[in-house]
Amino acid sequence: FPSRLPNVGTTIFTVMSALATEHEAVNLGQGFPDFGCDARIVDAVAKAMRDGHNQYPPMAGIAALRDAIANKIEAVHGRRYDPLTEVTVTAGATQALLTAILATVHRGDEVVVLEPTYDSYLPSIELAGGTPVFVTLEAPDYRVPFDKLAAAITPRTRLILINTPHNPTGTVWHAEDMRKLEDIVRGTNVLIVSDEVYEHMVYDGAPHQSVARYPELAARSFVVSSFGKTFHVTGWKVGYVAAPAPLTAEFRKVHQFNVFTVNTPMQVGIADYLRDPAPYLELAAFYQRKRDFFRAGLGGTRFKLLPCEGTYFQCVDYSAISDMSEEDFSKWLTREIGVAAIPVSAFYHERHESGVVRFCFAKREETLATALDRLSRL
Ligand code: PMP
Ligand code: GLN
């Protein structure tokens, strides 16, 4: 039968992780920590299971977790979402993004996407029958060209998808960027899906610019985040979406037939763990140390460092080392040098070569040191 996603193959993350395993390379490709999570969050989930929290939770998420999420957003970003009508627990950010897109995009609607873009966005738009409209972020600084973004908006634009801090480039939006976005959407019916999964990884003391901080933006936005990133548990797949009640109502119509609910003991355990704000408030300092260690080490190589203001990704320009395509270079680096990377070209819908690859530094210092040792031979 005809494929619904004819252009989709296996994700680059899966491909590069498999290659890294095959060649016993240090895997700085797919984004996930190689260290454990806090034992307290594991204990909290185990206790929830032992206490019998093992049946279906409410469709939108257990009350204690929705309360904790609303409190966290209010404490960090200063906006109060009603846990009953405006916060929904999701099976990671991926499901939140797909569900928000399916709930809002009608066949033929235009969805503005900033490239390079996270790999789940385009298939999600395609499944909804939407038409992606691309605005390109260019190496090496990848700032948003707001004039081009404004020009991309038409009467058929339903959604703009934004992502700050940005995967794969590590750039973050600043206050003036948010104000420019406000100017662009004012007076339109355009909705925003704001992917903020790296919200607690913004460096050098800068604030995370959540759309939740900007009332005009918040009124038309789905704010998406994920505990996988924040609590070093990418395999747990628990996240959330916060959005005004009318948007949340539509989101939940799809959510209830997409996953219906998200697993109960994780929700109980995470709600308990969220009572202490320290783990997420200290995350930026934790990852900034890793960023600085990794960047200092790369300083002694022939790679050219690109900015990294947030996320746990560091992009590098390798044009002084090789003129291979990004994909070929990433595979060569994995096979021959023993360090896996992700080609940034994988985040563009058309061929786009800038001589840039992405490394993930969410790794133990010894892992990073081994990788740096190998990279310094180039
Ligand atoms: N958005 C971005 C930008 C991401 O980097 C990721 C994780 N790689 C996701 C969404 C998906 O998050 P989750 O694992 O919670 O589904
Ligand atoms: N988000 C992670 C990354 O960018 C990977 C998640 C996945 O493998 N789908 O590397």
Residue 92 Cβ contacting ligand 2 at under 6 Å: no
State the average pLDDT over residues 289-308.
97
CA 307 to ligand 1 center in whole angstroms? 21
CA 170 – CA 146 distance, rounded (Å): 18
> Cβ(234)–Cβ(215) under 8 Å?
no
0.95 exceeded by pTM: yes
CA 64 to ligand 1 center in whole angstroms? 24
Confidence of residue 300 (pLDDT cuts 50, 70, 90): confident
Can you list the domains of the chain with their CATH numbers? 12-30+282-375 (3.90.1150.10), 39-276 (3.40.640.10)
CA angle (377 as vertex; 31, 166 as ends), nearest 5:
25
Identify the residue with better confidence: 300 or 250.
250
Percent of residues, the chain, with pLDDT higher than 70: 100
Residue 51 has what pLDDT? 98
Residue 105 pLDDT exceeds 90: yes
Residue 317 pLDDT exceeds 90: yes
Residue 139 has what pLDDT? 87
For 123-136, how does the pLDDT look when each residue is reduced to its tens digit (9 = 90+)? 999 999 999 999 99
Residue 106 has what pLDDT? 98
State the average pLDDT over residues 51-58.
98
Helix or strand or coil: residue 279? helix
- ipTM entry: 0.97
CA angle (106 as vertex; 153, 228 as ends), nearest 5:
85
Residue 196 has what pLDDT? 98
Identify the residue with better confidence: 140 or 289.
289
197, 263, 347: residue to mutate for ligand 1 pocket, most atoms within 8 A of CB = 197
> Cβ(290)–Cβ(365) under 8 Å?
yes
Residue 104 Cβ contacting ligand 2 at under 6 Å: no
Helix or strand or coil: residue 360? strand
Confidence of residue 314 (pLDDT cuts 50, 70, 90): very high
Alpha helices by DSSP H, the chain: 12-22, 39-50, 63-77, 92-104, 121-128, 146-152, 175-185, 215-218, 227-230, 245-258, 264-273, 278-281, 283-298, 326-332, 365-375
State the average pLDDT over residues 88-107.
98
For 175-200, how does the pLDDT look when each residue is reduced to its tens digit (9 = 90+)? 999 999 999 999 999 999 999 999 99
CA 183 – CA 164 distance, rounded (Å): 18
Shortest-distance atom of ligand 2 to CA 234: 6
Residue 3 has what pLDDT? 96
Shortest-distance atom of ligand 1 to CA 238: 15
Confidence of residue 138 (pLDDT cuts 50, 70, 90): confident
SS3 percent helix, strand, coil of the chain, rounded to 5, is 40, 15, 45
> Cβ(144)–Cβ(173) under 8 Å?
yes
Residue 101 pLDDT exceeds 90: yes
For 106-126, how does the pLDDT look when each residue is reduced to its tens digit (9 = 90+)? 999 999 999 999 999 999 999
10, 13, 237, 342: residue to mutate for ligand 2 pocket, most atoms within 8 A of CB = 13
Confidence of residue 250 (pLDDT cuts 50, 70, 90): very high
Phi, psi for 326 (deg, rounded to 5): -60, -40
Residue 368 has what pLDDT? 98
Residue 21 pLDDT exceeds 90: yes
Report the chain's mean pLDDT, rounded to a whole number.
97
State the average pLDDT over residues 168-173.
98
User: CA nearest 123: which of 6, 250, 221, 260?
Assistant: 6
CA 14 to ligand 2 center in whole angstroms? 8
CA 13 to ligand 2 center in whole angstroms? 6
Residue 164 has what pLDDT? 98
Q: Regarding beta strands 191-195 and 221-226, do their DSSP bridges make them parallel or antiparallel, or are they unpaired?
A: parallel
State the average pLDDT over residues 234-263.
98
- Whole-angstrom distance between the N-terminal and C-terminal Cα of the chain? 48
Residue 136 has what pLDDT? 97
Check the CA dihedral 252-258-260-263 and report its sign: negative
How many other C-beta atoms lie within 10 A of the C-beta of residue 288? 17
